[in-house]
Chain A
Amino acid sequence: MSPILTITDLHKSFGDLEVLKGIDMTMQKGDVVSLIGSSGSGKTTLLRCVNLLEDFERGSIELDGEAIGYRHEGSERRRLSERHIARQRAMTGMAFQQFNLFPHMTAIRNVMLGLTKTKKMAKDEAYAIAEKWLERVGMIERRDHFPGQLSGGQQQRVAIARAIAMNPRIMLFDEVTSALDPELVKEVLAVVRDLADDGMTMLLVTHEMRFARDVSSKVVFMHHGRIHEEGPPEQIFGAPETDRLRGFLANSEM
């Protein structure tokens, strides 16, 4: 089976600061991979590169066999057109730490926007799909509420529905519970777990170690822009091989 996501020798710098120093990673359909590591290790940047929210200087990312963001003409590397990149971005779904719902639209209109504008769906078709996903994340009764009328956990669930309604090949979760009050974390994690159980391919950055352990097929520990250690969750959490990972886990809540 060919991989859904192939990252090869990915390098990314912000000015003089190199944040990703050569990342290699592959994901198969249905894989759930958690990126863990201390802040500044590059895990969020890696996720944002896959969604093309960041450009990168070297290496390549292939999504379902298609190189994203850049094309090569001989030895020259060119950024794809804005329109092409927009289309490729829609192949991945992203949930953000700060939800980023559109405050001037109701929950269901938030979910419908990408369907009607990017996928050019008719309104009623988009409405039906949006309803289906809001139902799935338990937000169907609040479909006509504005983001400002919802709790953080509810907003995040709508944001996840908005991303996943686009039918992405892979879902990216960027610390989706970090901005939530502790009592709201559970409802969001339940939604993510539900999607994982359903066979959704997911790449997530998380600080919830217990959750990463339960839900992941693979855990990747990043340190200083490199993959420091990776493996199945039992191995990463049960028998970490490097001192650095042991140190990191000792400082994390389990």
Chain B
Amino acid sequence: MNFSLFLTELWNARMNLLAGLGDTVLISVASVLLGTFLGVFVGLAMTYGNKPTRFGVRLYIDFLRGTPVFVLILACFYILSVVGLDLSAFQAGVLALTMFCSSHVGEIVRGALKAIPAGQTEAAKSIGLTFGQTFAYVLLPQALRQILPTWVNTATEIVKASTLLSIIGVVELLLATQQVISRTYLSLEFYLFVGFVYFILNFLIEQAGRAVERRISIP
């Protein structure tokens, strides 16, 4: 391993790698935010929807969770263009990861809402709160606390899954790194390096999650 050569090449490739890292972060943040937003509604529909709604949403969740993310990404990229929806590789990838994330978040939101005792809703009703108020002030704050650790885990899964977007040509961190490798042939060094960067990203997410968890924990 030629360390000084690696450092020189790393410095030369810094703009490309940073751009890749930027895309990875952008893809992950967008997918997690959109997926969580969608997932909360999926969870709500699973909990409070009527039978046909629950059936439809259950189908959505099971289909997404039973399909490899990789297949999902390819499907979004290739199939949607056939039916006339022309998405860029970036957009198709974010769409796939958003759907994947929403199915996970939907499931954990459903579980968290179900775990709240019925007495909480009854107590809220008995002081005259409407359903919307009950949800906003009583159920959601309790559900969010319960969801947080699993949700952070989902976020790190999304960061890792974002590497799959390299297959459809999105130059995120992994593909940017591979492009550098194909020019420099320093595969061992750069793969080690990029692995370490992913580790740092997820480590930071987990630490942030723990910090928030500590802050909002109920005595």
Contacts and interface: CB of A to CB of B under 8 A. Distances in A.
Contact of A166 (B125, B128, B131, B145): B128
A86 B142 contact: no
Interface string A99-117: 0111110000000011001
A96 B125 CA distance: 12
Nearest to B131: A82
B59 interface: no
Contacts of A51: 125-126
B126 A117 contact: no
Interface string A41-65: 0000000000111000000000000
A162 B127 contact: yes
A103 B119 contact: no
Contact of A53 (B122, B138, B141): B122
Contacts of B141: 104
A226 B131 CA distance: 33
Contact of A113 (B127, B142, B219): B127
B123 A104 contact: no
Nearest to B133: A117
A82 B119 contact: no
B130 interface: yes
B120 interface: yes
A148 interface: yes
Interface residues of A, number: 32
A101 B128 contact: no
Given A102-B138, A103-B142, A149-B219, A86 B123 contact: no
Given A86-B129, A100-B122, A104-B218, 11 more contacts: A52-B125, A53-B125, A89-B125, A89-B128, A98-B119, A100-B117, A113-B138, A117-B129, A146-B219, A148-B219, A149-B219
A104 B116 CA distance: 12
Interface of A: 51-53, 82-83, 86-87, 89-90, 92-94, 96, 98, 100-104, 113-114, 117-119, 145-146, 148-149, 159, 162-163, 166
- List the 4 shortest-distance A-B pairs measured between CB atoms, nearest first: A90-B128, A114-B127, A118-B128, A100-B123
A113 B137 contact: yes
A86 B219 CA distance: 30
B120 A100 contact: yes
Contacts of B138: 102, 113
B219 A96 contact: no
B218 A93 contact: no
B170 to A, nearest CB: 40
A162 B129 CA distance: 13
22 contacts: A51-B126, A53-B122, A83-B130, A86-B130, A89-B126, A92-B126, A93-B127, A96-B119, A96-B123, A100-B119, A100-B122, A102-B120, A104-B141, A114-B127, A114-B129, A117-B129, A118-B127, A118-B129, A145-B219, A146-B218, A149-B219, A163-B127
A160 to B, nearest CB: 12
Contacts of A148: 218-219
Contacts of B218: 103-104, 146, 148
A93 B130 contact: no
Contacts of A159: 123
Contact of A94 (B120, B126, B129, B219): B126
A114 B145 CA distance: 22
Contacts of A86: 125, 128-130
Contacts of B142: 102-104
A87 B218 CA distance: 30
Contacts of B128: 86-87, 89-90, 114, 117-119, 166
